[in-house]
Amino acid sequence: MRKLVATCILVAAALVFTACGNDNAVSTVGAETAAAHDLAHDTPPELVDRVNEDVVEDLQIISAVTVDTASFSQAMTGEALADMNKSAADDLAAGKYRKRDYRDVSVLINGYVSPVVEVRVDFEDHGYYVDASTGEALEAPSGERRTFAMALVEEEGQWKIKGIYSPTGTETASPPVQ
């Protein structure tokens, strides 16, 4: 019941996703690691590899987006998609866009209560803002290590990101402080 409540909280919360990504430098924690099995003990074993692969693919899709945000819907749904589209539109209105660059990505499954999988995603953020009219970088990448909890749901055969949260523990998460 506790996991169900935590999952419901994850699905209900919203966030503007500000992290960055690069499909050339993405890796996952293997499904066969002890840590993944410990955290994913309620997840059917056949889903562990698929969820890990789909999260990496989702991040690759997101990292390829700059000005045209239509591809976000291939990797995201629900509140996460709405928040990401709003953030991108706000950035473009301010004359900039986010170049995402995710590196050294690891994915750990925290729990599974059908139809939602909860994961923790850890990565190096090498993203930066770009001037929309000139294409010039507006800042240098920080390379900061970031961790997010994510709620995933399966749509069209793909586990998509439905919610993105700042983690507060191994099994629960809350919306990040802006």
Strands 116-125 and 128-131: unpaired
Tell me how far apart the alpha carbons of residues 45 and 149 are, in angstroms, rounded to a whole number.
Answer: 20
SS3 68: coil
What's the confidence (pLDDT) of residue 134? 97
Looking at per-residue confidence, does 167 or 175 come out higher?
A: 167
Distance in Å from the first CA to the final CA of the chain: 30
- Residues constituting the chain: 178
pLDDT digits (tens, 9 = 90+) for 42-60: 567 778 899 999 999 999 9
Average pLDDT of span 92-118 = 94
Residues in a beta bridge with 70: none
Tell me how far apart the alpha carbons of residues 178 and 164 are, in angstroms, rounded to a whole number.
Answer: 13
* φ and ψ at residue 70, rounded to 5 degrees: -60, -30
Contact 21, 60 (CB under 8 A): yes
Burial of 9 (0-12, 13-18, 19+ CB in 10 A): middle
Look up tokens 């989702």; give the residue: 58
Q: For the beta carbon of residue 150, count every other beta carbon within 10 angstroms.
A: 27
Q: For the beta carbon of residue 155, count every other beta carbon within 10 angstroms.
A: 15
Give which of 87, 167, 97 is closest to 132, Cα–Cα.
97
Please give the structure tokens belonging to residue 120.
């923790």
pLDDT digits (tens, 9 = 90+) for 128-174: 999 999 999 999 999 999 999 999 999 999 999 999 998 765 444 44
Tell me how far apart the alpha carbons of residues 131 and 98 are, in angstroms, rounded to a whole number.
Answer: 9
